[in-house]
Chain A
Amino acid sequence: AQKITQTQPGMFVQEKEAVTLDCTYDTSDPSYGLFWYKQPSSGEMIFLIYQGSYDQQNATEGRYSLNFQKARKSANLVISASQLGDSAMYFCAMREPLTGANNLFFGTGTRLTVIP
C-alpha cells in the first residue's frame, strides 16, 4: 500500500482565494510525522509545515494550515489568500521514526496553478 496518497494531480485556484490540497497516509508507526513541501520550477524543496501524530492542534504557519484528521488518516494542506507565487508542485511526506529509518516518504504531488 502507498504510504502517502495525493489524489489531485493538478489544482487551479483564483488569486486571493483559499485552496485545499489533499493528502492521506498509511502507517502503523504511532509516532509518525507529516510534512508538506513546495517545489517551484527551479527544483528546490521548500519546507512549509509539519504535523506530529501526537500534536493536539492543527499546525499553522502564516498562510498555510494543516487540516489534520487522525482517524481518517488525512493531512490536507490549506493555503489561504493564494498568490501567484504559490504556483508550484506540492508534496506531502511522512516520517516513521520507529522503523529506524529517518528519511521521508513522499506522495506523488499536486501541481497548483494560481490564476490571476
Chain B
Amino acid sequence: SAVISQKPSRDICQRGTSLTIQCQVDSQVTMMFWYRQQPGQSLTLIATANQGSEATYESGFVIDKFPISRPNLTFSTLTVSNMSPEDSSIYLCSVDPPLLQGANRDYGYTFGSGTRLTVV
C-alpha cells in the first residue's frame, strides 16, 4: 500500500492566520481525500482532490476557507485560511487503495499521520 508523509504533525496558530498542510505520497494516486476530525468526533470529508482539476468540496466546506492544490499525482496541500478556534482539529489526508486483483488486492485506504492544529 501507499505511504504518505504528512506535514506538519502539529501546530499552534494565531487566529486570523493561515496554515498549509502538505501530503506527499510515494506512488501515483488518482484521488486524494482531505478529512477533518474535530475533538472527540469522527472523520468528516472536506474535499476530494484530483490532479489537474478543481477539488470537489463537501457540503459545509468552501474553497475560500480550505483551498486545495493538487499539482501532480503524488502531492497535495490543504490550506486552512483565516483560522478561528473552531478550526482546531486533526486534519488527515488519505488515498484510495490501488486496483489490485486476487491475492494481491489491498483494500485499505492509507492515511497520513495527521496534523493536529490548535488555534489560539
Q: Taking chain B's interface residues, is the majority helix, strand, or loop, or is none over half, making it mixed? A: strand
Number of interface residues of A (CB under 8 A): 20
Task: Tell whether B90 is near chain A: CB-to-CB under 8 Å.
Answer: yes
User: Do A102 and B31 touch across chains, with their CB atoms under 8 A apart?
Assistant: yes
By size class, the interface of chain B is 20 to 34
User: Do B111 and A91 touch across chains, with their CB atoms under 8 A apart?
Assistant: no
Q: Roughly how many angstroms separate A108 CA and B43 CA in the complex, as a whole number?
A: 8
Of the candidates B37, B41, B45, B108, which one forms a contact with A103 in the assembled complex, judged by CB atoms under 8 Å apart? Answer: B45
Task: Tell whether B24 is near chain A: CB-to-CB under 8 Å.
Answer: no
Task: Tell whether B42 is near chain A: CB-to-CB under 8 Å.
Answer: yes
Minimum CB–CB distance for A35 against chain B, Å: 7
Chain A residues with a Cβ under 8 A of chain B = 33, 35, 37, 42-45, 47, 50, 52, 91, 101-109
Chain B residues with a Cβ under 8 A of chain A = 1, 31, 33, 37, 41-45, 48, 56, 90, 92, 94, 96, 107-111, 113-114, 116
